[in-house]
Structure 1
Amino acid sequence: MVSRPDGFVVLLPVKSPGTGKSRLAGLSDCERSRLAAAFARDALAACLATPAITRVVVVSDDAEFAADLAALGAETYPDAGGGLNAALRQAAAALRIGAPGLRPVALCADLPALRPEDLATALDFVASTAAPCFVEDADGTGTTLYTAWYDDFDPRFGSASAAAHTSAGTTSVPGDLPGLRRDVDDVTGLAEASALGVGLATAGALAGCAIPG
């Protein structure tokens, strides 16, 4: 029998909004910055509304924006550099001391259509196995969520991360999970997320943008 975790602690890596979403072509720097910030706020809101998630830790090198997210209910951990995966491993190692019963979950912050129901369904599957798990993105090449117990926590976000996680023996979470799979890297992804229905922060940011196409 698999011992279910006491709950989950989400590690939400967040770039400085001013440097994020450079592939949203046709938008101004200000518009991209507003959208990147809004994506993170909506992802955080979905996490905080998911009962199985006990804590959310924002991992960022932008102390000012991290503080803004902390005001919404997150905790923060500094990204000291070395890349996304290294930052996530460092944050998980720090959490292990104070939260050994919580299973760490690395979740992308560019999920404006994320719903608590999607997260709850995915985490219910995760809780049924001790194996590392990941959620493949809607394009079939990337990863939007990765989780493993501390001893096995070894995320492989980056180019072709879905294949990298599969090659490492990580279990793919089944199900439609549309909002959890639809990350936004470009205007096509943004249009698809909008069709699913985005969160309040992203809807507000989009109202002031002229989206190409």
Structure 2
Amino acid sequence: MRMDGELATNTDPMDGWSLVVPLKPLVVAKSRLATAADDMLRPHLALAFAQDTVAAALACAAVRDVAVVTDDPAAGAELAGLGARIVADTPAAGLNAALAHGADAVRARRPHAAVAALNADLPALRPPELARVLAHASAFPRAFLTDAAGIGTTLLTATPGTELRPAFGGRSRRRHLASGAAEILLEGVDSVRQDVDTGDDLALALALGVGPRTAERWAAGTPALEG
């Protein structure tokens, strides 16, 4: 498959990628899921999405470590229990500031790290598909994968010596292209593209096959929604 962009000259992240995963406070997360999940269920689903995302990322052979940027102590404790490093978020600074802060925290410890920003709402994420995407990304200074809708972004990468420069939110595919990042054009990586913002997104993720925490939480919560 084709991949647009200028080839990098120093892009050998042989010691693995460091992933930065941003997570809002659970009480305000996933508001667009209101048609599929009530106010009680949504925070639990947001945490389950993040748990399945982080667990799958840590199981990926190409990933060295995962840093979760959050100021939610309960979520941080749960994700730390899976093996993630928790980086305190900067309150009210916004998603892209949180991602840049996380990347800086990673490189404060490992200056030559290959860094990737990954959405926290990829509950169907499969480690082999993530590994394929990261392998393609390693040939370019910065690269990104668009979401299933072809509008947003689920993954943005920066190889050693390259600034991440995240521009997530809304029509971020267009912004990342304009910034010079290479678009990753791969078939068969649906699990890395299927983020969950709406009820329709959740149905698609469930059809792909979500991780155990999301499956359990959804099964437990669904009867209450239907009743």
**TM-score band w.r.t. shorter chain:** over 0.9
8 Å CA contact 2:69, 2:99 repeated in 1: yes
| Correspondence 1:10-159 to 2 at 5 A | 10-26=19-35, 27-81=37-91, 82-129=93-140, 131-149=141-159, 150-159=161-170
Provide the aligned C-alpha RMSD in A: 1.4
Kept after mapping to 1: 8 A contact 2:60/2:127: yes
Mapped contact 2:142–2:162 kept (Cα < 8 A)? no
Q: Report the TM-score, using the length of structure 1 for normalisation.
A: 0.94
Matched-pair contact (CA < 8 Å) for 1:63–1:78: no
Equivalent pair of 1:133/1:170 in contact (CA under 8 Å): yes
Map 1:196-211 onto structure 2 (within 5 A): 196-210=208-222
**% identical equivalent positions:** 42
Residues 42, 200 of structure 1: 8 Å contact kept: yes
Deviating more after overlay: 87-96 vs 47-56: 87-96
DSSP 3-state at the match of 1:76 = strand
The answer to whether the 8 A contact 1:85-1:157 is kept is: yes
State the SS of the aligned residue for 2:156: strand
Unaligned runs of 5+ residues in structure 1 are none
Cα distance in 2 for partners of 1:75, 1:152 equals 21
Q: Unpaired runs of 5+ in structure 2? A: 1-8
Report deviation, 1:124: 0.7
Distance 1:185 1:193 in 2: 11
Paired positions, count: 211
| Partner Cα separation in structure 2 for residue 145 and residue 20 of structure 1 | 19
TM-score relative to the length of structure 2: 0.89
- Deviation string 1:92-116 (CA, Å, 9 cap, x unpaired) is 1222121123211100000011100
Taking the aligned partners of 2:183 and 2:66, their CA distance within structure 1 comes to 22
Shift of 1:75: 0.4
Mapped partners of 1:95, 1:3: distance in 2: 17
Q: Which amino acid aligns with 2:202?
A: L
Distance (Å, rounded) in 2 between the aligned partners of 1:126 and 1:159? 22
Query: Displacement, 1:2?
Result: 4.5
Work out the CA distance in 2 between the residues paired with 1:18 and 1:94: 25
List structure 1 segments (4+ residues) > 4 angstroms apart after TM superposition: none
Give the Cα separation in 2 of the matches to 1:166 and 1:111: 22
Task: Decide which moves more: 95-104 or 152-161.
Answer: 95-104
1:165 matched to 2:173? The reply is no
For residues 42 and 57 of structure 1, what CA distance do their matches in structure 2 show? 14
Q: Once the two structures are superposed, what CA deviation does each residue of 1:67-88 show, in whole Å capped at 9, x if it has no partner?
A: 1110111101011131111111
1:209 is displaced (CA, Å) by 2.6
- Tell me the distance in 2 between the aligned counterparts of 1:93 and 1:196: 34
Q: Is the 8 A contact 2:87 2:105 kept in 1?
A: no
State the AA in 2 paired with 1:125: H
Answer with 111-120 or 22-31: which moved more. 22-31
